[in-house]
Structure 1
Amino acid sequence: MSEELRERGRELAAALAADGVVGLTIAWADNNGIPRSRTVPVPALPQVAVSGVGVTHLFAVFDTNDAIAFGSTGMETPSGDVRLVPQLDRITRLAGQPAFAWAPGRLVAADGSPWAFDQRSVLQRVVDRLAADGYTALVGYEMEFGVFEQASDPEDTELLAAHAGPAYSPHALLPIDDFVAAVMRDADANGLRLGQIHAEYGPAQVELSLAATDPVTAADQQLLARQTVLAAAEAHGLRVSFAPLPTLNGAGNGWHVHSSLWRGGDNLLAGTVDGPRGTAGAGYVAGVLRDLPALAALTAPSLGSLARQRPGFFAGAFSGFWGVENREAPLRYVPGSALLGEDHANLELKVSDASANPYLALAALLTAGVAGVEENLVPPAPVGEDPGTWKKKQRAAAGIEKLPATQAEQEEALVANPRITGVLGEELLGAFLAVRRADAAWAGEKETEEVLGAWRWRY
């Protein structure tokens, strides 16, 4: 196997060098959703394909500010090393950075054995387990981000919107149409299938959607899409924020996850405006809904996430309900239709953003949904209204309540849910909680706007 990998590395290195590529960037996402990487010279690829490149094991406990949260099991000291191995079948020459190629990486122990803290492997295990039970899944992302002018003074914290709206208008994109065109060209060249790109609701906000694909590929492509957008922004003198809430005055950036579960070629979510047509699809909705408070601790885990989850902002601020095409619901059922076909149906998770590790988020989401199918769960009736406009007693009577609103509340919901914690395993869970606590301790008595400003460009 090693010699096969080495030979494949030689072939890829020769092809990349012939195209003028000098470096391969190997990327992964940490427990804050922040992409990390190593870039290796292309001639080193034959060896790197076999043995990877060394990185500190402590990346598992880097917090959002790049501080190291020592103390969780396996992360007590600075002594240790792991290997970052590129996924050769995912190597992509970057259209916006033509001297570089990109690949997602897998973290393994120093001897090449599985490493408990590797998030990509967590998702792969869940996908393999689903396949063994006869299931496959499709996942697509909607990615919102803010586009801003580069400040002439690096110390200037004022945000200058690169477009001023109107929301969803073609007029809004005119000031940045060269940037948008570059994103579309580069995405296509990088193998990303865009569904659409448009001006979103918030000032300076843009959204792009990625076509649905298998879960591991979807997570990989989410990271590649970030690199693609950031390179286009840099080339056009712009700055992009993927942060859940760049500023309190903004609408916030959700990275909505659209998922569907399939068995024997059939979409179990298939249905119309009445909801999924079968009990399995209803069970998937019910399973995700049941675990939503714990799930949100992985899919929207940062302090910025918590600040974004406000009623009236299509952010999924409440748990305990779902809706058909209800954009205030944390779970929005997107039905099929005569035009698109019933198999177009999917479930959109609103409580999701860039601070989530995409591999862990999808692993937990699919685990929750499939558990609902296997247990024949039945969801409550869908809600078509905005519960944020209801009286508190009315929400309580309907079983609708606010999602956990602090790091401590999120942790409590997560550790109380063995289905979701079981996805991570004890060691990875410990590291994940360590960085969440570190972020909360750093924020301390700081004003929310100061915290948001510090993390505006981190993702």
Structure 2
Amino acid sequence: MLDHTTQADTLDLDLAANGVVGVIIAWADNNGIPRSRTVPIDQFTAATRRGVGITPLFAVFDSHDTITFDHPPLATPSGDIRLLPITDRIVQLAGQPAFAWAPGRQIAPDGTPWPYDQRTALERQLARAADLGITLRAGYEIEFHLSAADDPRDDPRPVYDGPSYGPVKMLAVDAFAEQLLRDLNRNGVPIGQLHGEYGPGQYELNIAPTDPLTAADHQLLTRQTIHAAAHHHGLRASFAPLVTPGHVGNGWHLHTSPSHNGTNLLSGGDGPAGLTPQGAAYLAGLLRDLPAITAITAPSLSSLQRLRPGYWSGAYTCWGIENREAALRLIPSTPLLGPDHANIELKPSDAAANPYLALTAVIAAGLAGIEDRLAPPGPIQEDPATWTDQQRADHGIHRLPTTVQQQLRALHDNPRIRAALGDDLIDAFRAVRTSDADRAADLDPAAIIRAYRWLY
């Protein structure tokens, strides 16, 4: 890790002295796909002051790099914006030591905020939370698939297809796991654990909770770190929501917790599992806006295939206490782990989501719940898929949107999420999702899975 107290105008000298030849400036587009520019080290100081030129049309790239001109303000090939590296987040990549990495902010040519910048949208919600006296923590669970990279077919060949969660599954990727743990530590990404997951060739790690902006940066940096370690060991990583038909998908479960004056609002109260009134209102806000939230957090056609009842993906609009079939899983505090452990896990969330937009939508909904003093219904401790339609209706439980059109309708009709993201960003997002849906109109489910398999 570099010393982040270093002044921006001397960073290039320090980086060069450590053998760095270029700096990768990364951001995520509206498909959740990381994009980047690499700046030679002797140009990095200039980039910190003036940014790097990129086309504004990245805001309307769809998942397969088709540029849609269906959003009028970005319906021309003309124009330019600047990509500015966030210098206090720069790291020399342990798995790619000739390169450093930094997240980027998209700004207008005159240096003013650009309405399509997802990082800025998240910062606005964090400022709103601060005005309410609320601080937030966030963390990600990241599931991914490892395949042999020398397979000439497009179909994946899982590195291990045997008992789930066991040490033998980890032994199959022993050298990769060793490098990954070392590299994440050197890159400044603290994780809680790494293990073999349920599906063939599937693994999972969880990133330690931190402030939401850092959590989003860590998510992008973790992707880069995993891909580099996999490449080094002749493997290919996929974070796609669904890698093969009929198997479990890769969720990127998003955990959040609000606090006031240093006290976690999800514990220490008289509500279910210790919810305080404000903590319950935060949860109720997420539940109220869940269809619009998941339009942001599980937005791709592959995401929609992953959201199936019975797969622990959270296909219904309900919450429960440690209920892994609930879209919102309350993880309460315990005497062993303490009150700060309490958090809410969003199950319908995956790698197709831009992490800054995902956190923006979640936080906006939760804060609105607090402002409106909402109260949630009682927790659901069963699998709602096993109930009748009437039972679900009696409890106000509905299936989350199953089509792009339903997702976009939920997003359009939600004033809170629209206000948080802004009309320009929402409308560009809509254009991208519509382009994806049009492209896949004649594809069967298996073809859609193949189309998204190696995008993430």
Q: TM-score, normalised by structure 2?
A: 0.97
Deviation at 1:276, TM superposition (A): 3.4
Q: After TM superposition, where is structure 1 displaced by more than 4 Å over at least 4 residues in a row?
A: none
Q: 2:255 matched to 1:253?
A: no
* Number of the residue aligned with 2:85: 86
Equivalent-residue separation in structure 2 for 1:168 and 1:399 (angstroms): 35
* Number of the residue aligned with 2:131: 132
Contact 1:120/1:359 (8 A) holds in 2: yes
* Number of the residue aligned with 1:12: 11
Change over 3 Å in CA distance of 1:276–1:285 after alignment to 2: farther
Q: 2:23 matched to 1:37?
A: no
Deviation at 1:271, TM superposition (A): 4.6
* Number of the residue aligned with 2:190: 193
1:115-194 equivalences in 2 (<5 Å): 115-153=114-152, 156-194=153-191
Equivalent-residue separation in structure 1 for 2:50 and 2:339 (angstroms): 46
**Letter paired with 2:406:** E
Contact 1:32/1:63 (8 A) holds in 2: yes
The SS at the match of 1:435 is: helix
Contact 2:29/2:59 (8 A) holds in 1: yes
Equivalent-residue separation in structure 2 for 1:375 and 1:111 (angstroms): 38
Equivalent-residue separation in structure 1 for 2:123 and 2:241 (angstroms): 26
- More displaced, 363-372 or 22-31? 363-372
Equivalent-residue separation in structure 1 for 2:154 and 2:124 (angstroms): 43
Equivalent-residue separation in structure 2 for 1:276 and 1:52 (angstroms): 47
Equivalent-residue separation in structure 2 for 1:455 and 1:355 (angstroms): 9
The SS at the match of 1:332 is: strand
Q: 2:319 matched to 1:312?
A: no
Equivalent-residue separation in structure 2 for 1:151 and 1:446 (angstroms): 27
**Letter paired with 2:341:** H
1:300-379 equivalences in 2 (<5 Å): 300-319=298-317, 321-379=318-376
The SS at the match of 1:40 is: strand
* Number of the residue aligned with 1:266: 263
**Letter paired with 2:65:** D
Gaps of 5+ in 1: 1-6
Residues 243-264 of structure 1 show CA distances to partners (whole Å, capped at 9, x for unaligned) of: 0111213200000011000111
Q: 2:226 matched to 1:222?
A: no
| Aligned partner (choices 278, 281, 284) of residue 282 of structure 2 | 284
Contact 2:314/2:347 (8 A) holds in 1: yes
Equivalent-residue separation in structure 1 for 2:247 and 2:310 (angstroms): 13
Deviation at 1:54, TM superposition (A): 0.2
**Letter paired with 1:209:** N
- More displaced, 227-236 or 65-74? 65-74
In the alignment of these two chains, the number of paired residues is 450
Equivalent-residue separation in structure 1 for 2:108 and 2:79 (angstroms): 10
**Letter paired with 2:396:** G
- More displaced, 220-229 or 266-275? 266-275
Equivalent-residue separation in structure 2 for 1:419 and 1:370 (angstroms): 10
Residues 383-436 of structure 1 show CA distances to partners (whole Å, capped at 9, x for unaligned) of: 111011112221122111110000000011110000011111111111000000
* Number of the residue aligned with 1:440: 437
* Number of the residue aligned with 1:3: none
* Number of the residue aligned with 1:62: 61
Equivalent-residue separation in structure 2 for 1:233 and 1:66 (angstroms): 24
Equivalent-residue separation in structure 2 for 1:186 and 1:271 (angstroms): 38
Contact 1:73/1:430 (8 A) holds in 2: no
* Number of the residue aligned with 2:3: none
Contact 1:271/1:335 (8 A) holds in 2: no
The SS at the match of 1:275 is: helix
The SS at the match of 1:402 is: coil
What is the CA RMSD across the aligned residues, in angstroms? 1.2
**Letter paired with 1:183:** L
Contact 1:254/1:353 (8 A) holds in 2: yes
**Letter paired with 1:217:** T
Equivalent-residue separation in structure 1 for 2:208 and 2:187 (angstroms): 14
Equivalent-residue separation in structure 1 for 2:182 and 2:295 (angstroms): 35
**Letter paired with 2:289:** D
The SS at the match of 1:167 is: coil
**Letter paired with 1:238:** L
Percent identity over the alignment is 53
Equivalent-residue separation in structure 2 for 1:114 and 1:353 (angstroms): 27
* Number of the residue aligned with 1:422: 419
Deviation at 1:453, TM superposition (A): 0.7
* Number of the residue aligned with 1:102: 101
Equivalent-residue separation in structure 1 for 2:8 and 2:40 (angstroms): 12
Equivalent-residue separation in structure 2 for 1:27 and 1:236 (angstroms): 24
Equivalent-residue separation in structure 2 for 1:157 and 1:85 (angstroms): 36
* Number of the residue aligned with 1:394: 391
Gaps of 5+ in 2: 1-5
